[in-house]
Amino acid sequence: MDTATRADAPDTLVETVGAAIVTRGLTKRFRSGQVAVDALDLTVPRGSVFGFLGPNGSGKTTTIRMLLGLVTPTSGEQSVLGLPPVQALPKVGAVVEGPAFYPYLSGADNLMRFDAADPTASRATARRRIADALDRVGLAAAAGKRYRTYSLGMRQRLAIAAALLRPRELLVLDEPTNGLDPQGTREVRALVKEIAADGTTVFVSSHLLAEVEQMCTHAAIMRAGKLVAQGTIASLSAGLAVRIRVETPDAAAAVRVLERLGMDDVRTGDAHVTAELGGHAPERVNAALVGEGVAVRGLAVVRPSLEDVFVGLTGEGFDVDG
């Protein structure tokens, strides 16, 4: 999907070509009456790194559980890799809340136990597949180390390795960087990009907008069980204005210059002024400020972020950093 959209979706699943995941009117209502997911129309392009965004409690995990056949929808349609979810499962790897590994076993032995639990996995190829999975996530050198000695980032990568013990066309990750330190976050981010480069569609659920912005090619934003918007990362912010930010101790004078230049939505902050850039060249804005004697400590062009998109669509803040 090249442009951001709310409801411009095909009426039937078969009309969407080249999609890894399609839902139409997907709804989950619990016995308590709570509607966790409300008429979700979602399209995830094949080959994308797709960020599924929303605050905690917005319906992300419930949606994932329906896509994996773990929860039965109340109504609506869903297709995974062109198949009903249960039929698609052999082609899907998933890390939802992380598998429970044995702390006293090595990474390789844990994967051996994990693989043995899969009745469809070949015992004859187990060691080769485990070695390949560990190498793919960068844990080959730590294969013999006990799980309890692994860092949080290594543990998350081992969980992803478990999901990749067989060839997968789709990898579903629920909050893969939640609780990780900066190093672990970078490790997982790099791994996701590598997996996608190999041709696997990666569906990443997260409440960390800044992280998804660095990792994903496409995104959808959920709020209170409803889809707010979806599209490419670029298209989601296309309707928002690019702004210029001027760091200055002379805020009042800077405001007068920017308004005289005809710039819109001029705002003042703590030792800075911002405005919509419009068609103005940043270097000319800077020259005008300096020419009027405004002390410019810094000047930057600020492009809209996913946080700006969410606030613009809902009028609410978002947990950007966790």
> Per-residue pLDDT tens for 106-156?
999 999 998 998 888 888 999 999 999 999 888 999 999 999 999 888 998
Question: Does residue 190 sit in helix, strand or coil?
Answer: helix
To the question of pTM greater than 0.85 for the whole model, the response is: no
pLDDT at 320: 45
Tens digits of residue pLDDT in 224-269: 899 988 999 888 877 778 899 999 999 999 999 999 999 999 999 8
Instruction: Give the separation between CA 95 and CA 133, rounded to whole angstroms.
Output: 14
DSSP sequence for 101-146: --TTSBHHHHHHHHHHT-TTS-STTHHHHHHHHHHHTT-GGGTTSB
User: Which is higher by pLDDT, 320 or 189?
Assistant: 189
pLDDT at 319: 53
pLDDT at 314: 64
Contacts for 238 with CB less than 8 Å, ≥ 6 apart: 3, 4
User: Which is higher by pLDDT, 185 or 15?
Assistant: 185
Q: Residue 2 — very low, low, confident or very high, per pLDDT cuts 50/70/90?
A: very low
- Count CB atoms within 10 A of the CB of residue 265: 11
